[in-house]
Structure 1
Amino acid sequence: MNSHTVRSLAYLTGLIIKSFGISLVIRSRLGTGAWDGFYVGMAGHFGLTVGSWLIILGIFLIFFNSFLIKSKPNFFPIITIFILGCCIDFWLHFLNFEPDGAESQVLIFWVGLLFTAVGISIYVQGQFALTPVDQLMYALSKRFGFSLMISKTIGECFALAFAFLLHGPIGLGTIIFTFLCGPLIQFLIPRIERMLFCR
């Protein structure tokens, strides 16, 4: 299998896995990731679906990221956020359940966090069009020289502030997600790259 095919499959598979993980975290009711809490808060206040707000706010971030790295906006990520937004709305509809206790909440949350980090680490191997949120991680790293871990954490804290203001689903899980997702991604990316491309 040539590298182009591998990257294409990684891109699509990673987005599906990431959207599944995000949906599990939301359904855990333990507290969503900061960005997801932002989207859920917007949906609760202004209507539309969680996926729709991911797309709308993603378009705004496209322009913000271009400002950070001082370049023209890259509109290819619209494809990515459209796929991701639709997948999240699909999974939220399909995974229509309530956790039946604290143990279930914790299990669903941790599985969701792991799937989210794995999904991100796989789809970035496609090198096609990162989501604006993940582009923000790279834009902050490029602009200020931060590591990916630090850049991801800064972006999560930014979203956390807005999620809090919108009374989004903030909880213990939000804090865990905010500070662990970045390190997990940094740990997984080189390992998945070696696995996919035998490096």
Structure 2
Amino acid sequence: MAASGNLRHRPVRRFTQLYLGLTLYGTSMAMMLRSDLGLNPWDVFHQGLSRLTGVSIGVATIVTGVAVLLLWIPLRLRPGLGTVSNVLVIGVAVDLALTVLPTPGNLPGRIALLVAGIVGNGVATGLYIGARFGPGPRDGLMTGYVARHPGRSLRLVRTTIEGTVLAVGWLLGGTVGLGTVAYALAIGPLAQVFIPMFTVAPPAAPEPPRRPEPTLADRQ
């Protein structure tokens, strides 16, 4: 599964978009964390793992990403630049953002931070996926599994995996709440808007050479 595309096609736009998207993704995670109103399923797991082990949530995110990437091996998937960058950049970005983001002191402020985090996450998803450098390890695991097992529903596989990590994360102490439900309802429509908006079109295929028109001598 090649995922990086043509690296020479619009490299400045795509590299900028990739790393801006991943940085924004980590920042939006930090916003949802500071709202303390609930997280998306994977971040509930990251937060629970962080609380269990004492490592930062950024480190927990990186460790989880590496573990999920190892599950690509039996599926015979090849990570792209975006996949590896996803593992590293998001974890660093969320820890850095948490050092500067304050915790709102009232409920309206927390709700505003939650909404901004969810919308920012949708924009970030559109940016890094639209750069066409490969999926993140978690999305790649789901789509790769379905590709290796024809007939399986992507929606069912995604629901099963995310339901499992949500339950485990909650048992480990991760925050489940209003934000969890809001994220589940909003991220699909947001991705549907922002992925096409930011997708860098692949280079146009060269037109096949035209056959020369027959000359009078050819017709004789």
Question: Using the alignment, how far apart are the partners of 2:184 and 2:146 within structure 1?
Answer: 17
Aligned to 2:117: 112
Q: Which residue of 2 aligns with 1:7?
A: 14
- Segments of 5+ residues of structure 2 without an aligned counterpart are 1-8, 205-220
8 Å CA contact retained: 1:150, 1:182: no
TM-score, normalised by the number of residues in structure 1: 0.83
Cα distance in 2, alignment partners of residues 186 and 151 from structure 1: 20
Q: C-alpha deviations, 1:50-90, integer Å up to 9, x for none?
A: 011111111111122343xx205538533331111111110
Partner of 1:99: 104
Moved more, 79-88 or 174-183: 174-183
Residue number in structure 1 paired with 2:181: 175
Task: Report whether the alignment pairs 1:24 with 2:37.
Answer: no
What letter is aligned with 1:161?
Answer: A
**116 and 79 in structure 1: CA distance in 2 versus 1, 3 angstrom threshold:** same
Find runs of 4+ consecutive structure 1 residues off by over 4 angstroms.
143-147, 149-155, 196-199
C-alpha distance in 2 between matches for 1:166 and 1:94: 26
Give the 3 Å change call, closer, same or farther, for CA 12–156 of structure 1 in structure 2.
same
User: 1:1-199 maps to which residues of 2 (within 5 A)?
Assistant: 3-67=10-74, 70-71=75-76, 74=79, 76=81, 77-95=83-101, 97-143=102-148, 146=153, 153-193=159-199, 197=201
Equivalent-residue separation in structure 2 for 1:13 and 1:155 (angstroms): 27
Name the SS of the counterpart of 1:99 in structure 2: coil
Sequence identity (%): 24
Using structure 2 for the length normalisation, give the TM-score: 0.76
Tell me the CA shift for residue 155 of structure 1. 4.2
Structure 2 counterpart of 1:80, one-letter code: N
Shift of 1:151: 6.0
- Cα RMSD (Å): 2.6
Which structure has the highest helix share of the two?
1
Confirm or deny: 8 A CA contact 2:27 2:97 kept in the other structure: yes
Structure 1 unpaired stretches of 5+? none
> Which one has the largest radius of gyration?
2
CA distance in 2, matches of 1:40, 1:181: 20
Q: Could you say if the C-alpha distance between residues 72 and 140 of structure 1 is closer, same or farther in structure 2, counting changes exceeding 3 Å? A: closer
